[in-house]
Structure 1
Amino acid sequence: MQAPYRMYARHLEGVYGGRVYRVGVDALFSCPNRREDGTGGCAFCDGRGASAVYHRTQEHELSRLGLCRDGIVEDFCSNAGSLAERIDRIRFQIERGKAFVKRRYKAERYSIYFQSYTNTFDTIENLRALFDAALACGPFVEFIVSTRPDCLPQQVVDLLASYTGMVEKVWVEIGLESANQRSLDLMGRNHDIECYIRAVKALHLRHIGVCTHVMLGLPYEGCDDYLATARLINAVHSDAVKIHNLHVCAGTRLDDWHRQGEVCTASLKRHVSDCIFFLRHLQDSVVIERMMCETPSHRRVSPRSFPDKHQFLAQVTQSMETHGWVQGDLV
């Protein structure tokens, strides 16, 4: 049965003839939006970065303790080590990641995913060495790099484009969050909308795919803002999108605002409704890679209780099918 939106898994199956599994790595990058002591950064970021579930060995233990407000999880980017150590770490993570997805899903096709922090925030020499080392552990179907729009100078775009002959597709995931500049300023993003537009244009000129990260439920935002964000993504022809519901991580500025009653997060019902509204205004060619955050519960102040992604996606699908709605029907 045809889904009412362009599902990522079905997109991959259509392109490659089967399932493709991401192998995520943390190459110990930092972020230009944080100071050397770890302070600063975006209002929603707890400085711990995103990482694949099979790399969260320390967090497995912490998850049994409930919400941890004391910053127990170490910020790895503050102690990056030498380039050789980072390469060794990448190789180890790829070996472990491949073993995990092969054991759990019987995977046969893999993509390499530079996932944690800002994965183009380094010298061009270091980037080339790290990317080369990771791709040498292939073969990989796709090469995926997550970063910020202000960390994509032309030499980095050229470097990424140089890998198009080694994989079927090179992708860059760009954090936009919102088309509302006031929201970006409030969240402390320290880039503007034009920066995002320039980055997407530069990547597309080199035939690199773009996945845009957006966040629904930001303070003071509503349907008009979601509509503007969808229209911006349509205008720049972003190839894919990841949707996150606003969530509050312990120890962040957002956490402070939440305690003061200035910020609230969406209920399940509201996030389902917001996602459907967003999807209906998004061109039907845009691949939907994600629709909710997966931050571990011991780091998440709010929402404390939220269904797993399969239950959430089932609710989105059921509601759209019941009403006869599909992605892009309001574009």
Structure 2
Amino acid sequence: MDMTRYVNTFGRYLRTKYGEKVHKISVDASFTCPNRDGTKGIGGCTFCNNDSFSPLTTKAGSISKQIEEAKERVTERTGARKFIAYFQSYSNTYGEVDDLRRYYDEALSDPDVIVLAVGTRPDCVPDPVLELLAGYQQNGYEVWLELGLQSSFDDSLIAINRGHGFAEYEDAIDRARTFGLKLCTHLIMGLPGEKPTDTLITFDRVVALGVDAVKIHPLHFVKGIQLARQWKSGAVSELTLEQYTEVLSEILTRAPASLLFHRLTGSGDHQYLMGPEWVKHKWDVLGHLYRKLEAKAAAA
């Protein structure tokens, strides 16, 4: 199965650009979010349990220590010797610029870290932060700003306690573009109140704004989140493998050739996962998707 026949994958892009495998390692700088600390709300997004996203992140110790320990694990497992420092948990631009600079500088002080990726929210990227990130890019690092959008439908964003609307995302994209930053948008298929095909609409809106990459994964339910309680009570329906791969195959078919896909599926750590069961099996999901892409290509 060669997914790169049909998908412009981030992994292939990195290998082509750098001539070797470049592996992403998660960094935890103990950030929070404005819809957790009371600025906009409390409790966070109803789908969010960050421990399930990056369970192997070494939360104790300095950023340098986290990176060093992660490098040892990853090199032993994959052989990779160059790395992306991925500030993943919560909103990693939500702080004072001087503090952010200190965190990012520490990550990039490792000579094996050649890419900086920063995950955050559209309402947490003021111009001084964008200018800071652009400065690293001007100094020769590759920088990715990853914006969690999840959906372009404001009703859906309200339902998941997101704390911002699509307008804030549009504004963030417009301003980040003026700084020349590489932009990746996160999308979730199967949110409450949405049909799977609604993700096609969100995808088209995002692409029209000129992003460089997207991450897509199915809604799944992990321990400790509000959506899991709604799912157990029957208030939220479960996305099927067939629904997910059918819509995702359509997204991939209509995607611009230049658009990168950083992720095509995801389930978080299995010790937290409650459902759907099929999301645990990444290679089965990708195999199902691949067969749909082959069928579409044959019918074209």
Structure 1 length as normaliser, TM-score? Answer: 0.83
User: Given the alignment of the two structures, is residue 24 of structure 1 paired with residue 26 of structure 2, yes or no?
Assistant: yes
Residue 298 of structure 1 aligns with an amino acid whose one-letter code is Q
Cα gap change, 1:223 to 1:259, in 2 (>3 Å): closer
For residue 189 of structure 2, what is the aligned residue in structure 1?
Answer: 216
Cα gap change, 1:300 to 1:268, in 2 (>3 Å): same
Residue of 138, 151, 156 corresponding to 1:165:
138
CA distance in 2, matches of 1:35, 1:42: 12
Residue of 31, 34, 37 corresponding to 1:35:
37
Residue of 196, 221, 233 corresponding to 1:248:
221
- Aligned residue pairs total 296
CA distance in 2, matches of 1:320, 1:312: 12
For residue 207 of structure 2, what is the aligned residue in structure 1?
Answer: 234
Deviation at 1:217, TM superposition (A): 0.8
Q: Secondary structure in 2 aligned to 1:54? A: coil
The answer as to whether partners of 1:231 and 1:281 remain within 8 angstroms in 2 is: no
Cα gap change, 1:46 to 1:113, in 2 (>3 Å): closer
User: Given the alignment of the two structures, is residue 45 of structure 1 paired with residue 48 of structure 2, yes or no?
Assistant: yes
Residue-by-residue CA offset, 1:136-180 (whole Å, 9 max, x unaligned): 123422111000000000111111111113444111110000111
Cα gap change, 1:299 to 1:223, in 2 (>3 Å): closer
User: Given the alignment of the two structures, is residue 322 of structure 1 paired with residue 260 of structure 2, yes or no?
Assistant: no
Q: Structure 2 matches for 1:51-66, cutoff 5 A? A: 51=54, 54-55=56-57
Residue-by-residue CA offset, 1:191-231 (whole Å, 9 max, x unaligned): 11111111112222111101100000112212552222111
Cα gap change, 1:303 to 1:123, in 2 (>3 Å): same
Deviation at 1:47, TM superposition (A): 5.5
Residue 178 of structure 2 aligns with an amino acid whose one-letter code is L
| RMSD (Å), alpha carbons | 2.3
Residue-by-residue CA offset, 1:15-40 (whole Å, 9 max, x unaligned): 2222111122111111111136x952
The answer as to whether partners of 1:140 and 1:167 remain within 8 angstroms in 2 is: no
Cα gap change, 1:195 to 1:234, in 2 (>3 Å): same
Cα gap change, 1:249 to 1:39, in 2 (>3 Å): farther
Residue 146 of structure 1 aligns with an amino acid whose one-letter code is G
Cα gap change, 1:11 to 1:47, in 2 (>3 Å): closer
Residue of 119, 122, 129 corresponding to 1:149:
122
Residue 297 of structure 1 aligns with an amino acid whose one-letter code is H
Q: Secondary structure in 1 aligned to 2:136? A: coil
Structure 2 length as normaliser, TM-score? Answer: 0.91
Provide structure 2 residue ranges, at least 5 long, that are not aligned to the other structure.
Answer: none
For residue 296 of structure 1, what is the aligned residue in structure 2?
Answer: 269
Residue 33 of structure 2 aligns with an amino acid whose one-letter code is C
